[in-house]
Structure 1
Amino acid sequence: MRGRDPTVASVRLLVRPRGDDDHPERLRQGIDRVLGAADELGRPWAVESLFPGATEPELQRHWVVSGAVQAGPAYDVTRVAYDLAAVVARELDADVEPDLPSSAYGVEPREDDAVDIGESLGDTRGVHLPGSDDLTWVVDAVRARAAWALPPPPGGADRGAGVLVGSVDTGYTDHQELAGAWSFDLDHDVLDGDEDARDPLRRRWYMPLDSPGHGTHTASVIGCRGAGALLGVAPRATIVPIRSVKSVVQVLDGDVARAVHEAHRRGCRVITMSLGGRGFFGLRTAIRAALDDGVIVMAAAGNKVGIVVAPASYPECIAVAATNADSEPWPGSSRGPAVDVSAPGESVWVASVDARADPPAFSERRHHGTSFAVATLAGVAALWIAHHSHDRIVARVGRANVHAAFLHLVRSHGHRVPPGWTEHGWEELYGVGIVDAASLLPAPLPDEADLVPTEAPEVADPVSRLSAVLVGLSREEVRVRVAELLGTAPQAVDDLPLAAVSELVYRLGEDDMLRAGLTAPPGDIELPDRPGAAARRLLERTASRALRAAV
């Protein structure tokens, strides 16, 4: 019996027609015309809405096209996917990007892996700072207890009561520390397409990047009730688990976009994402739709990759870096001008899950990562919304400005500046300081006129997208170095097609040497300070025909 051809792989294209003609049947006819009536397995190409049930016209324009293609080691599926994206974009006059897993967030090792505090990203049995021995040190580091003691205005509540926090992660478990914190009426599983977001807690032996239990780890920082050993920042908030990933490292941006939409439509007032990738236009659209409806959206800056990953890198999303018990930056935290604020992320006590045990073992352990920093800020956001009440905030600043009002107050009142923060220049890399709930909650709500709206193009221009992964370069330096990499003129970089820019961002995010060849000062690496022929050879090993043709 003949088995399945191992060189056949699945691809997903994320498509948004540019004109008004975005009817699904016409899109399907266009796909059949461009890609053929059947994929490599003889099946019709699947065309489905990226945001099922969406009522917003802008969300209704986004589609997923999926099927099987021939690929192999000599010309892998990422190159084929970008070739398909380029031809569909050209022939159908559409914005198109492949939905490819990205490893931009940084690996979190298993519990028995690296032990050095500067090297580990997950649980560690190594040396921890003495200030992190107390299981509730994070609650005190952001002065949450003092915030709980503040009397709320009329209609307000304490400890995050009544606030739904959407956790876009690996789903929920039965860990005893989170009893009473989950919503089992509103949860959703994007991966399986059902209403049960239970984390299956499977760590595939051949897939070291799996993150079983990660959603439980981050949720415990937000909302542990305090009945056991752990206490969350907002112990009366309700966590809505939206299962969208098996690994916070290998992220499919289309699934994350769907998860943001599902959290939004289920009434979450805060959406937190302890994950990251390269991002795409549909994820930004989903975040914008949530912001317009009065939702606060935030994401982890990233781990061990040096750049702020998407969606944290988007201007519409609050980017959170990680600090430690000494109020200093965690060495593994991503950093850069895109970071808005920091929160504890090193040696954070969480409701831990060991998926290797049978049955899975629940315990309390210390973990590292910006995953826990953004979870901490999500808890603070829940405290702020509950304290003032969402209705009162909306009445004051307008529904579309709730996110902007929260960020405005975090920057103006709701943070503390530790000793040395300014002297070391950390405000340029790790945000205004460390979030302070007790200073945030009593701050007067701003006037709508005082808020600066987030201005960003619908599709980021090529230089802006490339700048997100080429940290430290000015816009003109990005033009010059990318132009030399591609063998074209600097002004041509501004006119690169979306699919070409998407592939460049993907390749630069995945290949540290390629990225270093464009960003490192002279003498730091073997490549020249400008990429030239050596860096072009690195790119040519992985670039699609479409990218080479674009330049």
Structure 2
Amino acid sequence: MPTAKSFVPGNFPAALLWPARKVIVLILPGFIDADLRDPRAREQMVRAADEALIREYPVARLVRQDGRRQMLRRLVDSLLDEWLLEKAMTSKAGRVTAPAPAELGTGFEGFVVRAKAPRGKSAAAAVRRAVERALGAGWKARPFGKHPADFEVTSERAAFTVREAWNAVYRLREQQGIQRAEPCFAVPANQAAGARGVKFTAAGAMIAPKELSLALNNCEWSVEQVKARAAWTYSGDQGRPKQGEGTVVGHPDTGYTTHPEIWSNDPRQNRLLAEKGYDFWRNDSDARDDLERGLGCSIATGFVCFPGHGTGTCSVIMSGEGSPNGLPVFVTGIAPAAKLIPFRVAPTVVLWSPKRLAQAVYRAVDTGCHVISISMGGLPSGYLHDAVRYAVANGVIVCCAAGNYSPWVVWPAAYEEAIAVAACNAAEKPWRFSSSGRAVAVSAPGESVWRANPTDPGKPVAPSSGTSYAVATTAGVAALWMAHHGRDKLIAAVGKERIAALFKTILTTKGCNKPDRWDTNAFGAGIVDGLKVLQAGIPARSSPLAKRVKAAAAAVSAARPEHLDLLENLFSGVKPGDLRRGLSTLLQATPARLPQRLREVGDELIFHYASDPEARRQFIDGLTGKAKTFAAAATAPVARAGVALRVQNHAAQLRRVASDRLAALLI
């Protein structure tokens, strides 16, 4: 019999072969009475398998639908023989033999758990016992992050589906020695630009409207818009360090290249500290971006994958002033004297792994970074939030992209400790594909921003669009501010743990320009102005601004966001009252009981809605009455009408991927 690998087309990742085989087996019972020799029956099976594949393994969304179905057709044709049917249908579990570990690349990365035991050997022992009772043998636990009771739990052979992972989470949470547990998944970020008909050039930059010809004809327009040169002059006139001199920016992204805009072969002039970087994707000390077009990049996915993304965002932060090679177009960084440490957390920014990002944040703090610039985002994560809080508590400013094409502000940008940055254009208007919401602090240039382009030797510098460049710009301004005042002076003035709150407060109150008709509820206080940020100075301890900073820092450190806070950001276009009523109906809970019910299953519910745009849309449609298919999907008469009926039918769809615990609570 031919092996599955014999049928891998050029546009399908081999890592998804095992999940594809598995879902075919899972759906087989539904087709046992069909004539599987009939091409029409097989095509129905392919469609069912495709729906199951993206539901059970969200990472499969990185592959365009026609690519997935081409592969599934070939697998169905090759595997629907007497051997597979006999093996699959006689197995009570409906499973086939697991492949070798090298084939496992489903997106599942393990768990992060916290022991109730305080620290050290007692915590490790408690985790090992709990893991063995809940998951069985074959799992390893090792310390994770900075909390002494946090551990990463992994297995070389585990290829859990979403449902299986959440079932395991609840088993872990029930163990006596476990305080909390979360699954770790690498899932696609919401950047399906092609779905909205947006046109992109080969380099990934959006074709700008005619009104933005200024941006295309001036490679330094973004530097001018945020008054970076004026800020440099201001610092120089006062005898202060200018251009970010003496500051170090941590940069978790896709890694770096030796592009001349960010790299010098002269060690004395090279400000990119590659020797301090790390590759969390391959777990080695070389953070270089090999510009691979592997998962999500070499395939015709329809996603904008930005190979070399880390080089581009890095150049916006710290590229030297002017052209390094005499070319007429170049990149001038916002902080051209700052240093930068690269951390590779993914081969492409459309693949979201909060675990790897959290690891990079911890390492950035411990290697002495003063600012962290994060140009990626996705689902919320308790352990990622812990990493952001650790950075802020150690005096590090964390700047995060608000998100592209996403109807909500992504995490970690949405966390209060971070500075969420939306994107604007050269006309001082919001970029039309920038995420927006109350979590956004400010906006910065993000549409048609000139950046280093390592993928096209003929165009080493080219414009590109996204909140990635907006946050890189803002991180550059943070480096200017840190250099101008000096970190030691800031610590003496407000305390290490309040540096980030001070910068955010200055940025949103005195450090931006607000254009006419600017929507502060959607795009923050205004557009970043580097000169105003420096001119704001350091407030006296008794000043109203200092008291505001103290109150803000205290509020942030006192509590974590509740599940309802996270859901309100996720459903930012829905009225809070309607959202609560819908959730109460969905989870069969009174309004008073809803917070407790969300503490039970809220993490999983948020995962489903944040990782599956269709599930989120269905729930919103159920609340607003736009879901025409919900009523048709009902299988039994329901006494209640309106929202309750639509939410009930949405629950039937959600059960297909929900854990046993969540499924039992749904209406």
- Shorter-chain TM band: 0.7 to 0.9
Aligned-residue offset at 1:485: 2.2
Per the alignment, residue 260 of structure 1 pairs with 361
1:430 is aligned to 2:523: yes
1:369 is aligned to 2:433: no
Cα displacement string for residues 316-369 of structure 1 (whole angstroms, at most 9, x for unaligned residues): 111000001100001101101010000011111110132xx7xx7761111111
- The amino acid of 1:35's aligned partner reads L
Cα displacement string for residues 198-233 of structure 1 (whole angstroms, at most 9, x for unaligned residues): 112101134845543111111111111033321011
Paired residue for 1:202, among 276, 280, 292?
A: 292
Per the alignment, residue 215 of structure 1 pairs with 310
Per the alignment, residue 151 of structure 2 pairs with 63
Per the alignment, residue 537 of structure 2 pairs with 444
1:401 is aligned to 2:498: yes
Output aligned runs, 1:240-255, within 5 Å.
Answer: 240-255=341-356
Contact 1:482 1:518 in 2 (8 A): no
1:195–1:513 Cα change, 3 Å:
closer
Aligned-residue offset at 1:290: 1.1
Question: Partners of 2:208 and 2:507 in 1: how far apart?
Answer: 33
Per the alignment, residue 35 of structure 1 pairs with 135
1:453 is aligned to 2:552: yes
1:282 is aligned to 2:383: yes
Output aligned runs, 1:54-453, within 5 Å.
Answer: 54=146, 59-67=147-155, 77-91=161-175, 92-107=177-192, 116=199, 122-125=204-207, 127=209, 129-133=212-216, 134-151=218-235, 156-179=240-263, 180-204=270-294, 205-206=298-299, 208=301, 210-226=305-321, 227-228=323-324, 229-354=330-455, 363-421=460-518, 426-446=519-539, 447=541, 448-451=546-549, 452-453=551-552
Question: Partners of 1:291 and 1:156 in 2: how far apart?
Answer: 25
TM-score w.r.t. structure 2 length?
0.73
Q: State the secondary structure of the residue aligned to 2:468.
A: helix
Q: State the secondary structure of the residue aligned to 1:29.
A: helix
Paired residue for 1:15, among 109, 113, 118?
A: 113
Aligned-residue offset at 1:126: 5.6
Question: Partners of 2:399 and 2:283 in 1: how far apart?
Answer: 24
Cα displacement string for residues 253-289 of structure 1 (whole angstroms, at most 9, x for unaligned residues): 1111101001110110000110001121111111111
Paired residue for 1:48, among 125, 133, 142?
A: 142
Contact 1:170 1:244 in 2 (8 A): yes
Q: State the secondary structure of the residue aligned to 2:593.
A: helix
Paired residue for 1:481, among 582, 586, 590?
A: 582
> How many residue pairs were aligned?
524
Aligned-residue offset at 1:176: 1.3
Q: State the secondary structure of the residue aligned to 1:260.
A: helix
Question: Partners of 2:189 and 2:235 in 1: how far apart?
Answer: 42
Q: State the secondary structure of the residue aligned to 2:470.
A: helix
Question: Partners of 1:234 and 1:525 in 2: how far apart?
Answer: 49
Cα displacement string for residues 58-90 of structure 1 (whole angstroms, at most 9, x for unaligned residues): x2222111126676xxxx711111111111011
Provide the alpha-carbon RMSD of the alignment.
2.8
Contact 1:472 1:519 in 2 (8 A): no
Aligned-residue offset at 1:380: 0.4
Per the alignment, residue 507 of structure 1 pairs with 608
Q: State the secondary structure of the residue aligned to 1:81.
A: helix
Question: Partners of 2:308 and 2:152 in 1: how far apart?
Answer: 28
Contact 1:11 1:69 in 2 (8 A): no
Question: Partners of 1:431 and 1:191 in 2: how far apart?
Answer: 33
1:306–1:375 Cα change, 3 Å:
same
Aligned-residue offset at 1:145: 0.8
Contact 2:412 2:418 in 1 (8 A): yes
- The amino acid of 1:150's aligned partner reads Y
Aligned-residue offset at 1:160: 0.5
The structure with the largest alpha-carbon Rg is: 2
Aligned-residue offset at 1:535: 1.7
Question: Partners of 2:581 and 2:227 in 1: how far apart?
Answer: 46
1:504–1:187 Cα change, 3 Å:
same
- The amino acid of 2:653's aligned partner reads L
Greater helix share, structure number = 2
Tell which deviates more after alignment, 485-494 or 234-243: 485-494
- The amino acid of 1:220's aligned partner reads S
1:155–1:31 Cα change, 3 Å:
farther
Question: Partners of 1:105 and 1:398 in 2: how far apart?
Answer: 37
Per the alignment, residue 41 of structure 1 pairs with none
Tell which deviates more after alignment, 223-232 or 456-465: 456-465
Per the alignment, residue 536 of structure 1 pairs with 651
Question: Partners of 1:93 and 1:496 in 2: how far apart?
Answer: 19
Q: State the secondary structure of the residue aligned to 1:501.
A: helix
- The amino acid of 2:166's aligned partner reads Y
1:171–1:278 Cα change, 3 Å:
same
Q: State the secondary structure of the residue aligned to 2:454.
A: strand
- The amino acid of 1:161's aligned partner reads E
1:50–1:120 Cα change, 3 Å:
farther
Aligned-residue offset at 1:120: 11
Aligned-residue offset at 1:419: 2.0
- The amino acid of 2:244's aligned partner reads G
1:245–1:155 Cα change, 3 Å:
farther
Question: Partners of 1:140 and 1:529 in 2: how far apart?
Answer: 51
Aligned-residue offset at 1:19: 4.7
Question: Partners of 1:266 and 1:444 in 2: how far apart?
Answer: 28
Question: Partners of 1:477 and 1:522 in 2: how far apart?
Answer: 9
Q: Unmatched 5+ residue regions in structure 1?
A: 38-43
Q: State the secondary structure of the residue aligned to 1:503.
A: helix
1:99–1:70 Cα change, 3 Å:
closer
Aligned-residue offset at 1:152: 5.2
Q: Unmatched 5+ residue regions in structure 2?
A: 5-16, 23-97, 99-103, 264-269, 325-329, 631-641
TM-score w.r.t. structure 1 length?
0.88
Contact 1:409 1:443 in 2 (8 A): yes
- The amino acid of 2:624's aligned partner reads P
Tell which deviates more after alignment, 241-250 or 521-530: 521-530
1:538–1:313 Cα change, 3 Å:
same
Contact 1:341 1:432 in 2 (8 A): yes
Contact 2:358 2:384 in 1 (8 A): yes
Question: Partners of 2:648 and 2:109 in 1: how far apart?
Answer: 31
Question: Partners of 1:64 and 1:445 in 2: how far apart?
Answer: 41
Aligned-residue offset at 1:475: 4.3
